[in-house]
């Protein structure tokens, strides 16, 4: 009822339609499809089995950039956006996004996990795609407000789930050609309650990966190091080919030599050597996972040697006793084998990465001290008795 009232109020504030030509003054009204909203009470028995999927909630935060500045933002109680058919995002892929999480902590407060790191990474993507940057304070305010207005959907403390937050930045104004740039850009923040990116069996047993010999994830000096939306399209066909062969994910080597490890499908590669070193690849075409950065810090805190460097697949892959896929949605998932052509490389353990994951998750939910100041308070958690 509250969401429906918000939607009615919002609709009353909108112009009767979208203007299609300043000379004629013609307007058309667009209706949204019917919205079947999620009810928090319906999720009460699903908190540990949410999967990773979109659920329509109360709404999202929207900011618009025009005339050289960002507006103050508005909460939109419908999962739709009115977009020009010639928008730069639709035609030229001028779009980047982020992923972060909010948690209901042990002390009864909801907190975001390190949003400033995501703000900085989105700013890097914006510079690469010639999109106006979202200032850090506006980014943090936007993600905080999106979580606060959907607080009843934050999974309660003690469950293996969180509120997944998806900020999206794109050219919403029309463009015909790459110059001049659009005159309008949009920054959205959507949220959804979610479990792990992969299935529970994958988390417990590990995944089998296939090295993609005939596909490249990103070109040298391309957009691979930023979270451009179009980067993920390169993995669509290879991933489905790998899954059809029975593999859980893909692994890419560098496009130039097919020698150095780059990334798994949607995750960074992390390996632990026999002598206990934390190794993760470095190239100019790899997106730096915020989760990987924090795990590196936790590894250093635990006294481990951390190496961020090129990793030669053939020369080094057999030296890793543990291999993990690292990302915000996945956290850390074991990779139990990697297949390249007719060779299969298996791992023997996941103990070190599992301990680092447990430490990270302990900080996220307030069970362990936040020594690095990663948590940002949002609001009190909604009691399950009030759902």
Q: Which residues are catalytic?
A: 227
Tokens of 28: 């058309």
Cα distance between residue 77 and residue 56, in whole Å: 10
Cα distance between residue 7 and residue 320, in whole Å: 53
H/E element, 91: helix 88-92
Helix, strand or coil, per DSSP, at residue 323 = strand
Cα distance between residue 251 and residue 320, in whole Å: 15
Angle 136-148/115-129 helices, nearest 10 degrees? 120
H/E element, 193: strand 184-194
Helix, strand or coil, per DSSP, at residue 296 = helix
Cα distance between residue 52 and residue 198, in whole Å: 8
- Residue 101 · residue 112 · CB < 8 Å: yes
Cα distance between residue 66 and residue 69, in whole Å: 6
């Amino acid at each position: 009822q509250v969401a429906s009232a918000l939607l009615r109020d919002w609709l009353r504030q909108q112009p009767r339609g979208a203007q299609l030509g300043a000379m004629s003054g013609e307007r058309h009204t667009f209706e949204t499809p019917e919205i079947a909203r999620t009810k928090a009470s319906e999720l009460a028995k699903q908190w540990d089995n949410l999967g990773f999927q979109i659920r329509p909630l109360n709404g999202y935060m929207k900011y618009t950039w025009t005339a050289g500045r960002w507006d103050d933002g508005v909460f939109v109680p419908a999962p739709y956006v009115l977009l020009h058919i010639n928008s730069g995002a639709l035609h030229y892929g001028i779009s980047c996004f982020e992923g972060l999480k909010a948690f209901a902590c042990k002390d009864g407060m909801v907190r975001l996990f390190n949003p400033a790191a995501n703000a900085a990474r989105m700013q890097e993507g914006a510079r690469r795609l010639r999109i106006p940057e979202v200032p850090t304070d506006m980014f943090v305010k936007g993600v905080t407000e999106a979580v606060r207005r959907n607080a009843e959907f934050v999974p309660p403390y003690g469950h293996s789930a969180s509120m997944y937050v998806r900020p999206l930045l794109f050219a919403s104004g029309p463009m015909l050609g790459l110059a001049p740039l659009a005159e309008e850009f949009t920054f959205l923040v959507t949220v959804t309650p979610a479990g792990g990116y992969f299935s529970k069996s994958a988390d417990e047993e590990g995944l089998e990966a296939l090295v993609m010999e005939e596909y490249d994830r990103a070109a040298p000096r391309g957009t691979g190091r930023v979270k451009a939306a179009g980067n993920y399209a390169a993995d669509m066909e290879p991933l489905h080919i790998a899954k059809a062969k029975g593999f859980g994910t893909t692994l890419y080597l560098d496009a130039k030599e097919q020698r150095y490890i780059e990334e798994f499908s949607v995750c960074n590669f992390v390996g632990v050597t026999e002598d206990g070193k934390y190794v993760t690849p470095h190239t100019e075409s790899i997106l730096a996972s915020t989760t990987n950065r924090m795990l590196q810090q936790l590894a250093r805190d635990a006294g481990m040697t951390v190496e961020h460097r090129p990793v030669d697949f053939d020369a080094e892959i057999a030296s890793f006793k543990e291999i993990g896929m690292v990302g915000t949605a996945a956290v850390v998932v074991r990779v139990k084998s990697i297949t390249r052509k007719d060779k299969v490389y298996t791992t023997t353990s996941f103990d070190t990465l599992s301990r680092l994951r447990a430490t990270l998750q302990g900080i996220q939910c307030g069970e362990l001290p936040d020594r690095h100041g990663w948590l940002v308070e949002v609001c009190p958690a909604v009691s399950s008795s009030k759902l």
